[in-house]
Amino acid sequence: MKPAAFDYWRPSSRREACELLHEHGDEARLIAGGQSLMAVLNMRLAQPKHLVDIAGIEDLHYIERRDDHLAVGAGVTQAELLQYPGLAEAVPLLALAMTWIGHWQTRNRGTVCGSIAHADPSAELPLCLATLGGQVVLENRRGKSRRVMAEDFFQGVLTTDRRQDELITEVRFPLARPGAEYRFREVAMRHGDFAIVALAAVIDSNRVTLGVGGVADRPVSRELARHDDPSEALNALAWSLGAEDDAHATAAYRRQLIRELGRELIAGGPSDEENAHARQG
Amino acid sequence: MHARADQRIRVTLTLNSRERSGYAEPRTQLCDFLRHELGATGTHVGCEHGVCGACTVRVDGRASRSCLMLAVQAEGRRLDTVESLAGEEGLSDLQQAFRRHHALQCGFCTAGILMSCEEFLERVADPSEAQVRDMLSGHLCRCTGYTGMVQAVLDVARTRREATVPDSQQENNDV
Ligand SMILES: Cc1cc2nc3c(=O)[nH]c(=O)nc-3n(C[C@@H](O)[C@H](O)[C@H](O)COP(=O)(O)OP(=O)(O)OC[C@H]3O[C@@H](n4cnc5c(N)ncnc54)[C@H](O)[C@@H]3O)c2cc1C
Ligand code: FES
Ligand code: FES
C-alpha cells in the first residue's frame, strides 16, 4: 500500500526539528532510517500529517568513546555502529547482538537511536541498553537536554518516556567492565526475524545480570547471584514476565526458552558465533 | 526544506551513473519513483513493507529497501539498480553465475538480490557460506530454495579474488 499524504520537512538543526514537533503536536512524526516507520506508513497504520526527517541534521552523526560509555548519535545507522573499529572491545554485547537485528539490508538504513525510540519489546538494541544500564539523551526545542536511564525509558510496547516535542539525540552504552563477560542468545522463527526470546548476560565474578527480550512488554533486566544454582532463579524469572501465547510461540515455550537458554548462557555453552551459524540453515 | 503534501517536487539523483530527475509527491516511495517516473522498471516491488527484499537498490553503495524510502529522501544521492549490471559485453560475472547455478526461476526476486550480492561482494572478499546465507536472509525467493544463489555468490567471490592482486585491501568482516 501507499502512505496517506503528509507534508515533508527536512530541518537542518535539532532545534528546528523540535520546533516542528512542538508546533504540530500529535500530527507530526520523526523519521530516521524508516525501517520501522515506513512499513507503518505504507500500511496506513499511522497517518501523520507532518513527517520530520532528521537526515539533514549533520551534528547527529557521531560515535564517540568517552570515559565510561560509547555515545551513539541519532544519525548513526546500525551498520555503521557494527563497523565501528573496536566495538567488540568497547561494548562486546553490541557486537554479539547487533547481527541479529533484521538483515544486512535493513541495518544499512535503520538507526541505533530509531530502534531505541521505537521500543519494540523484542528488539535487540533496547535489550542491550536495558541489560547494560545505559542512558538515552533527549533534547527539546529550548535546547535543554535530559538523560534517562534505560529502565525508566522503556515503559511498554512501543511506549517510552520521550515527550512529544523531544528528539533523542544520543544513546549511551556503558563500556565493558574489566573482568566481566558478555553473552547473547536468541531464538527467532528465522534469522533476522524479531526474537521469540532473546537473552543478554553480563557475567561478573559474583553476579550475573540477565536481560530478557521478547517476553514482557519491554526489555527486563534482573540480577542473580553467581554461586547459586540458577535453575530456581531462572524459573522465577520466567514466570514473572507475564508471557503470553501468540502466533509465533506459546507462553510455556517462552518460559522454557528462558530457563534453558538462561542456564546455557550462564554456564557458557557453545559460542554465540556457533549458535548464530547453526541457525542460519 | 519543506514540501507540502499536495506539492510535486523535483527530485534529482544519479541513477546508474547518469543524472536523472523527475517529480514526486512527499509520500511517493522511491521504488515507485524509479519505476513510474524514471521508467526504471528493473526494480521489482513485492510486499511494500520491507520484508521481501524484491525492491532492493543501492543507495550511495548500500543495499537498501526502496519501498522503505521516500523519493524525496534520495535527492542528490547515487542510486544503482539492476539495470547497472549488464554492460556492452553482456551480463556481468554475477549475473552469469546466477544463470550457471540456476539461481533464479521466475526472476521476480532476482533484481533485488543481485544488488545485495554486489554490495556484499565488495565488502566481504572471502565469504563463508554462513555469511552468504546471512546476507540472503534479507530476501525472499519463492522458487529456488537459495542453494543456487549461495553457490553463485561463492563462485563469483572466488573468481574475483583470483583476479585481484594478492595484497588486496579489502576487509573481510561480516557486517
Ligand atoms: C524486514 C525487517 C526486519 C526487522 N527485524 C528487526 C529485528 O529483528 N530486530 C529489531 O530490533 N528491529 C528489526 N527491524 C526494525 C529495525 O530495522 C529498525 O531499524 C528500527 O526499529 C527503527 O530504526 P529506524 O532508524 O529505521 O527508525 P524509523 O523507522 O525511522 O522510526 C521508528 C520510530 O522511532 C521514532 N524515532 C526515530 N528516530 C528518533 C529520534 N532520534 N528521536 C525520537 N524518535 C525517533 C520515529 O518517530 C518512529 O516512531 C526490522 C525491520 C525490517 C524492515
Ligand atoms: S517490496 Fe520492498 S521489501 Fe518487499
Ligand atoms: S526466482 Fe522466483 S521468487 Fe526467486
ipTM: 0.92
Instruction: Select from B49, B138, B174 the Cβ nearest to the Cβ of A42.
Output: B49
The total domain count for chain B is 2
Q: Is A243 a member of any domain?
A: yes
- Write the pLDDT tens digit of every residue in B14-71: 999 999 999 999 999 999 999 999 999 999 999 999 999 999 999 999 999 999 999 9
Residues A82 and A31 occupy one common structural domain: no
Nearest CA in chain A to B45: A1
Distance to chain A for B122, nearest Cα, Å = 14
Whether A47 contacts chain B with CB within 8 A: no
Domain containing A32: what range? 7-53
Whether A108 contacts chain B with CB within 8 A: yes
Residues A236 and A152 occupy one common structural domain: no
Rounded Cα distance between A90 and B70, Å, is 35
Three-state secondary structure readout of chain A: CCCCCCEEECCCCHHHHHHHHHHHHHHEEEECCCCCHHHHHHCCCCCCCEEEEHHHCHHHCCEEECCCEEEEECCCEHHHHHCCCCHHHHCHHHHHHHHHCCCHHHHCCCEHHHHHHHCCCCCHHHHHHHHHCCEEEEECCCCCEEEEEHHHHEEECCEECCCCCCEEEEEEEECCCCCCEEEEEEEECCCCCCEEEEEEEEECCCEEEEEEECCCCCCEEEEEECCCCHHHHHHHHHHHCCCCCCCCCCHHHHHHHHHHHHHHHHHCCCCHHHHHHHHCC
* CA of A236 relative to ligand 1 center, distance in Å: 32
In the predicted model, is pLDDT for residue B173 greater than 80? no
**Boundary residue ending a domain (B36, B61, B84):** B84
The total domain count for chain A is 3
Contact across the interface for A105 and B116, Cβ inside 8 Å: yes
pLDDT (0 to 100) of residue A280: 35
* CA of B118 relative to ligand 1 center, distance in Å: 25
Q: Is A107 a member of any domain?
A: yes
Domain containing B36: what range? 9-84
Q: Is B170 a member of any domain?
A: no
The finding on whether B142 has its CB within 6 A of some atom of ligand 3 is yes
Contact B92, B29 (CB under 8 A): no
What pTM, to 2 d.p., does this model score?
Answer: 0.94
Contact across the interface for A35 and B50, Cβ inside 8 Å: yes
In the predicted model, is pLDDT for residue B175 greater than 80? no
The finding on whether B51 has its CB within 6 A of some atom of ligand 2 is yes
pLDDT (0 to 100) of residue A281: 28
- Is residue B76 packed enough to be buried (19+ CB in 10 Å), middle (13-18) or exposed (0-12)? exposed
pLDDT: is B171 or A191 the higher one? A191
Q: Is A281 a member of any domain?
A: no
Residues B75 and B97 occupy one common structural domain: no
The cell for A200 is 543478554
Q: Is A280 a member of any domain?
A: no
Q: Is A264 a member of any domain?
A: yes
Q: Is B171 a member of any domain?
A: no
Q: Is A187 a member of any domain?
A: yes
